[in-house]
């Protein structure tokens, strides 16, 4: 960004300015390729400038939050950039979220405005009709207001098109928040992780150096826009001047379509959660020596089973494979490990590696002192990627963003909740969760949030949620043990339908066991190890076709 000039002044380095720079230097180059649409950097710059002007005219000011409930599309990415150019933070909302969860997100972030498209209009209309907070202004990037699905919109695509496409002088600086990503919360309320411009810039600059991404690359955009992996996809591509190729969500359950997408779009960089790669492996969808343009395949979000890695490395011998690790609280990823050769055994583990530039991984004991090489400890992260904390939740922030005991100057470390060990070479090995938080299909999920939603279902006497490893597509299967209230005539399908009103689809349990009463331990607490054993037995019996006595799945 050095030397970039706007209205006679040196332009601050903010993440939206990567698009501005590309529009100045390579205006007709493709920024986004989506289905049959090709959006150039000039078009992306001008459209987002116009949206920023409309947002400011609606009264948006520095630090405001603007939510958007839009399906993955060039318009949604334009919305993100337009919000940033208006000096605001964007808050992505999953269009498949239940209305009750969306209402919690809006209540927490108090947005000045909400942007919708046709896919999110009905959901957001339902939410805003019962929303107790101040009504945010409502807009759509569509040409006409979606009056049949939502409350009356304040502006639409026609109004945006009439605005000037001139660039804006931003008041923000790099320490300001760029976006808030809401993750699962153990109390039933989603947690809003604030991510700053500087954190994204530090990480993306590292990816460009390490992965060697440039304007010749064609980068996948697999992750949903409310998921932190999408930050690398989008801004990594724009910073390099590469082409971003968002993957249609409907391809996720069609492995051969997904493989054809990689092939037909001549992708050079692929980044996704491991469950997608497991699916490609399960259906043998990767051709021998396929994807001739692909140079690197990256994964993050959960453990990739070694058999899947072996399958991919044997099928794609010329591709580099990199394991990335990091929670949303540390922006995207904090460590990396590029696999040097195909594992010799399916039981061989893959480390999460060493810290990215500007980051540090620490394996500490209960006193937050370093453990020795090979010893198991709690995994902490320090460095430039750390979030300022959870949006307007100082108590929760203070519980996991802790003072660094090694530093005289004020410095924070983040407690991930993961267990790890560090070997003699300084590589870190992930050993699992230390609490009830899991990762399934790349999503981070608090089992307590699901239980909180279940407790609100009046036809249940009691319930508990555990997770078991399956080795399959989801990696960790969510399981619900439940007891019906006296006289209630319900089944697992009824409970699942009720639960779907409160939690997203990816948080719905896959396995269900009905009990007369839940097993308890000596302290009178629910015996969760026993429940896990029951579900493992039920899962194995289901696979073998035998029945499990005394419980229904």
Calculate the CA 191 to chain-centre distance: 13
Find out whether 195 and 177 touch, Cβ atoms under 8 Å: yes
Phi, psi of 274 (to 5 degrees): -60, -30
Contacts of 28 (CB under 8 A, 6+ apart): 40, 41, 42
Q: What is the reported pLDDT for 525?
A: 79
Higher pLDDT residue, 150 or 478? 478
Q: 255-264 and 274-282 are packed helices; what angle lies between their axes, rounded to 10 degrees?
A: 110
Sheet strand arrangement including 218-221:
37-40, 30-34, 243-246, 218-221, 269-272, 296-299, 320-325, 335-338, 354-355
Give the whole-angstrom CA distance, residue 502 versus residue 360.
37
Strands 113-116 and 89-92: unpaired
Find out whether 294 and 266 touch, Cβ atoms under 8 Å: no
Mean pLDDT, range 230-239, rounded to an integer: 98
Q: 17-25 and 229-240 are packed helices; what angle lies between their axes, rounded to 10 degrees?
A: 30
Question: How many Cβ atoms are within 10 Å of 264's Cβ, its own excluded?
Answer: 10
Give the whole-angstrom CA distance, residue 414 versus residue 327.
10
pLDDT more than 90, % of the chain? 74
Residue in 509, 506, 508, 510 with CA at minimum distance from that of residue 226:
506
User: Residue 439 corresponds to which tokens in the numbers above?
Assistant: 């990762």
Average pLDDT, the chain: 91
Contacts of 65 (CB under 8 A, 6+ apart): 88, 89, 90, 91, 109, 110, 111, 112, 180
- The kind and range of the H/E element at 542 are helix 528-544
Q: Each residue of 18-44: pLDDT tens digit?
A: 999 999 999 999 999 999 899 999 999
Find out whether 65 and 111 touch, Cβ atoms under 8 Å: yes
User: Residue 481 corresponds to which tokens in the numbers above?
Assistant: 């043990």
Q: Each residue of 284-330: pLDDT tens digit?
A: 999 998 999 999 999 998 888 898 999 999 999 999 999 999 999 99
DSSP 376-388: -EEEEEEETT--S
What is the CATH code for 40-172?
Answer: 3.40.50.980
Find out whether 333 and 298 touch, Cβ atoms under 8 Å: no
pLDDT(417) > 60: yes
Look at phi and psi of residue 247 and say left if phi exceeds 0, alpha if psi is from -120 to 50, else beta: beta
Instruction: Assign domain 202-433 to a CATH class.
Output: alpha beta
Residue in 358, 364, 450, 452 with CA at minimum distance from that of residue 415:
364
Residue in 297, 305, 314 with CA at minimum distance from that of residue 220:
297
Give the whole-angstrom CA distance, residue 60 versus residue 50.
14
Q: What is the reported pLDDT for 476?
A: 85
Scan for tokens 């019906």, then name that residue. Answer: 484
Give the whole-angstrom CA distance, residue 415 versus residue 188.
21
State the Cα angle at 454 between 452 and 455, rounded to 5°: 65
Mean pLDDT, range 467-490, rounded to an integer: 84
pTM flag (> 0.95): no
Residue spans of alpha helices (H) in 302-404? 306-315, 394-400
Q: What is the reported pLDDT for 472?
A: 64
Q: What is the reported pLDDT for 547?
A: 36
* Cβ density class 103-120: b for 16+ within 10 Å, e for less: bbbbebbebbbbbbbeeb
Mean pLDDT, range 143-157, rounded to an integer: 84
Q: What is the reported pLDDT for 189?
A: 81
Q: What is the reported pLDDT for 485?
A: 87
From-to residues of CATH 3.30.300.30 in the chain? 437-544
pLDDT(11) > 80: no
Q: 492-499 and 447-455 are packed helices; what angle lies between their axes, rounded to 10 degrees?
A: 110
From-to residues of CATH 3.40.50.980 in the chain? 40-172
What is the CATH code for 437-544?
Answer: 3.30.300.30
Residue spans of alpha helices (H) in 87-228? 99-109, 118-130, 157-161, 197-211
Q: What is the reported pLDDT for 474?
A: 65
Find out whether 327 and 420 touch, Cβ atoms under 8 Å: no
- Convert 57-121 into a string of H (helix), E (strand) and C (coil): HCCCCCCCEEEEECCCCHHHHHHHHHHHHCCCEEEECCCCCCHHHHHHHHHHHCCCEEEECHHHH
pLDDT(186) > 70: no
Give the whole-angstrom CA distance, residue 37 versus residue 40.
10
Strands 511-514 and 476-484: parallel
């Amino acid at each position: 960004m050095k030397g970039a000039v706007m209205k006679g002044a040196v332009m601050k380095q903010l993440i939206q300015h990567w698009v501005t720079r590309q529009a100045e230097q390579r205006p007709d180059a493709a920024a986004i390729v989506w289905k049959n649409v090709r959006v150039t950097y000039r078009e992306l710059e001008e459209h987002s400038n116009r949206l920023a002007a409309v947002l400011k005219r609606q009264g948006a000011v520095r630090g405001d939050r603007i939510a958007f409930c839009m399906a993955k599309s060039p318009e949604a990415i334009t919305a993100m950039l337009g919000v940033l150019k208006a000096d605001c933070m964007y808050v992505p909302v999953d269009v498949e979220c239940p209305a009750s969860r969306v209402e919690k997100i809006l209540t927490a972030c108090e947005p000045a405005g909400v942007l919708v498209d046709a896919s999110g209009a009905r959901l957001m209309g339902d939410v805003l009709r019962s929303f107790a907070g101040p009504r945010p202004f409502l807009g759509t990037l569509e040409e006409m207001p979606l009056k049949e699905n939502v409350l009356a919109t304040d502006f639409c695509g026609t109004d945006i098109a009439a605005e000037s496409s001139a660039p804006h002088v931003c008041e923000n600086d790099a320490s300001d928040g760029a976006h808030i990503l809401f993750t699962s919360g153990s109390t039933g309320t989603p947690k809003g992780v604030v991510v700053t411009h500087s954190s994204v810039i530090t990480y993306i600059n590292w990816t460009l150096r390490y992965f060697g991404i440039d304007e010749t690359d064609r980068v996948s955009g697999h992750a949903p826009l409310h998921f932190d992996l999408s930050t690398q996809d989008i801004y990594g591509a724009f910073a390099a001047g590469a082409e971003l190729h968002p993957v249609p969500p409907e391809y996720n359950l069609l492995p051969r379509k997904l493989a054809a997408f990689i092939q037909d779009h001549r992708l050079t960089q692929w980044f996704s959660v491991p469950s997608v790669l497991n699916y490609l492996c399960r259906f043998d969808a990767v051709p021998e020596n396929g994807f001739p343009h692909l140079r690197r395949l990256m994964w993050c979000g959960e453990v990739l089973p070694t058999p899947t890695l072996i399958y991919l490395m044997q099928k794609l011998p010329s591709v580099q494979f990199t394991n990335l690790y990091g929670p949303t609280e540390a922006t995207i990823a904090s460590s990396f490990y590029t696999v040097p050769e195909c594992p010799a055994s399916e039981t061989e583990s893959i480390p999460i590696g060493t810290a990215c530039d500007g980051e540090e991984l620490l394996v500490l004991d209960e006193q937050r002192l370093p453990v020795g090489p090979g010893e198991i400890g709690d995994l902490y992260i320090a460095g430039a990627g750390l979030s300022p904390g959870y949006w307007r939740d100082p108590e929760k922030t203070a519980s996991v963003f802790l003072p660094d005991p090694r530093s005289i100057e004020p410095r924070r470390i983040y407690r991930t909740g993961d267990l790890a060990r560090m070997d003699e070479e300084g590589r870190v090995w992930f050993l699992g969760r230390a609490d009830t938080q899991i990762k399934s299909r790349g999503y981070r999920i608090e089992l307590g949030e699901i239980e909180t939603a279940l407790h609100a279902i009046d036809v249940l006497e009691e319930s508990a949620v555990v997770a078991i490893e399956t080795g399959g597509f989801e990696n960790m299967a969510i399981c619900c043990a439940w007891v019906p209230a006296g006289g209630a005539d319900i089944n697992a399908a009824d409970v699942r339908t009720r639960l779907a009103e409160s939690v997203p689809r990816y948080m719905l349990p896959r396995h269900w066991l009905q009990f007369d009463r839940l097993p308890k331990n000596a302290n009178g607490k629910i015996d969760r190890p026993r429940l896990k054993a029951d579900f493992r037995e039920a899962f194995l019996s289901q696979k073998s076709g035998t029945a499990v006595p005394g419980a229904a799945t």
